[in-house]
Amino acid sequence: MSDSPQPYRVLARKYRPRNFRELIGQDAMVQTLGNAIRRGRLAHAFLMTGVRGVGKTSTARLIAKALNCVGPDGQGGPTIDPCGVCEPCLAIAEGRHIDVVEMDAASHTGVDDVREIIEAVRYAAVSARYKIYIIDEVHMLSKNAFNALLKTLEEPPAHVKFLFATTEVNKVPVTVLSRCQRFDLRRISAELLAAHFAHVVEAESVAAEPDALSLIAQAAEGSARDGLSILDQAIAHAEMGPGSEEAAPVVTAAQVRDMLGLSDRGSTRRLLGLLLEGDTGALLGAVRDQYALGVEPLSLMRGLMELTHAVTLVKAGRDIASPGQSAEEREALADWASQLGFAPLHRLWQLLVKGHEEVANAVLPIESCEMALLRVMHAATMPDPGELARMLREGGVPMAAPVAGNGAPAAASSAPVARLPATYADLIESFWQKGKGQLAQELHDCVGVVRFAPPQFDYRPTPQLPADFTARLLPALRELTGTVWQVAQADGGEPTLLEQEQNKAADARAQILETPVVKAAMAAFPEAELDDQLEPWSAKA
């Protein structure tokens, strides 16, 4: 009769570190522990803190092994490299050592549970060098339980060691923290996680694309356990390789994106390009296309935030190149960084952060995502007040460089930087040069300026101004300057340019008629008239 198959163990349990060499991303802590063991400077209580899945409980078990290992010959002492073959090492790894007690504080929160520990520490270890208590999620203990533990924790018997693990160290009383040697376990970098996952898939006889492992490492957010759980799911999701049904599964980046609801980085770059270009229709279409492909609105917003952050880092001179970064992405980041200033990037970041928050709490996520991106589009290109005032004094405000339709910034040589008109007269002149004579004529004859501070324009209309003037003016201003204007009607303001010219002509006529020569001529020729007809301003058209 054949043996029954072994039950499947998930990767997060199967690949727990068995020694400190396999504990990734925590080199500083391993060095500190190694020096303490070699020099005999062992604390009586250790506290491991960090985000989920970085190895807090695994580290506690490794410390228990290191302190109780006796070596293959049974004569060894505490070591940072436990042998893994002696009885204490095997028993601790299998969770059956009588002197290594693990307790989950989430389910043993009361003072009675701690009292059992206090009573037990008086007795020496049965078979190990140290009696060790590992208390996971120690912050869940009640206030009375912590108080009951304090005295024993400060002066425990020499044969007892306490190992605490917690994800919320701020909830642990300071009186407890001061009695422990604290280790802050760091988030594991995406590069280290991706390399670790490559070893795992090789050991599991699974093929995986490097980009797929990079995506999983990024989604893990520094947690090895979360990453292994995602990898486990990705392997189950993957299709079998070519050849036969027994072929190894192949984990691809496209499948991981589909499984996690992620947008590919190329699509995110195109989306940011449309956002900067200000193409409303194309932007909304791209968002809906991503949504139809299964990309979550929150993931879409996060992708844009990550890309904006990357552009800002490149702008600041930081090298963020990574093995999984494509040449196209590096080129796009460099182009955006060279053409966007820090102020627009900071404003874009703040708007995206606000939009992410709204989408996360929205009843209608995709609709909220669209509204947030439209707000970003219309506000991110606005100059900040300080820059606007400075550039107005110098004669015009430079705007962000145009962005090509494929999402990459247009080259500076082929797309000159757009400028806002310095004066109202410059605006009218620009419209004449662009062939928009009707708008120019209306601005000259029928519009009184109340406030002209590009891209803000408040005006007083005359009765002769057509009703659709604003509707025609806004797209024309956007086309002319490459930015969104705020145009509104207001009271007061200056006379129209036509009225100003007529007033100047009337003043000049009055001055001429008051000169002695003209007075004498008019007296000599009573029927004479002063010909002061002006050439129509529109004649320049």
Domain assignment present for 305: yes
- 275 and 250 in a common domain: no
Low-confidence winner among 72-86, 184-198, 315-329, 363-377 (lowest mean pLDDT): 315-329
Domain end, chosen from 159, 184, 209, is at 184
Please give the pLDDT value at position 358: 92
- 441 and 525 in a common domain: yes
Query: H or E stretch including 45?
Result: strand 45-49
- 275 and 357 in a common domain: yes
Domain assignment present for 324: yes
- 304 and 256 in a common domain: no
Please give the pLDDT value at position 410: 40
Domain end, chosen from 131, 163, 184, is at 184
Low-confidence winner among 222-231, 247-256, 373-382, 394-403 (lowest mean pLDDT): 394-403
Edge-to-edge strands of the sheet including 239-240? 207-208, 249-251, 239-240
**CATH code of the domain containing 447:** 3.30.300
Helix, strand, or coil here: 448? strand
Residues 94-120 pLDDT 10s = 888 898 988 888 888 888 888 888 888
Distance CA 207, CA 201 (A): 7
Residue whose entry in the numeric block shows the structure tokens 């519009």:
447
pLDDT band with cut points at 50, 70 and 90 for residue 134: very high
**CATH code of the domain containing 147:** 3.40.50.300
Domain span holding position 359:
265-394
**CATH code of the domain containing 218:** 1.10.8.60
pLDDT band with cut points at 50, 70 and 90 for residue 402: very low
- 343 and 482 in a common domain: no
Average pLDDT over residues 198-204: 89
pLDDT band with cut points at 50, 70 and 90 for residue 154: confident
Distance CA 496, CA 488 (A): 16
- 298 and 151 in a common domain: no
Let me know: does 228 contact 186? Beta carbons within 8 Å: no
Average pLDDT over residues 489-506: 85
Domain end, chosen from 184, 217, 237, is at 184
- 361 and 254 in a common domain: no
- 176 and 45 in a common domain: yes
Examine the pLDDT at 1 and tell me if it is beyond 50.
Answer: no
Let me know: does 223 contact 51? Beta carbons within 8 Å: yes
- 169 and 36 in a common domain: yes
- 227 and 87 in a common domain: no
**CATH code of the domain containing 377:** 1.20.272.10
Domain assignment present for 401: no
Average pLDDT over residues 500-526: 77
Domain assignment present for 412: no
- 280 and 251 in a common domain: no
Examine the pLDDT at 289 and tell me if it is beyond 80.
Answer: yes
- State how many domains the chain has: 4
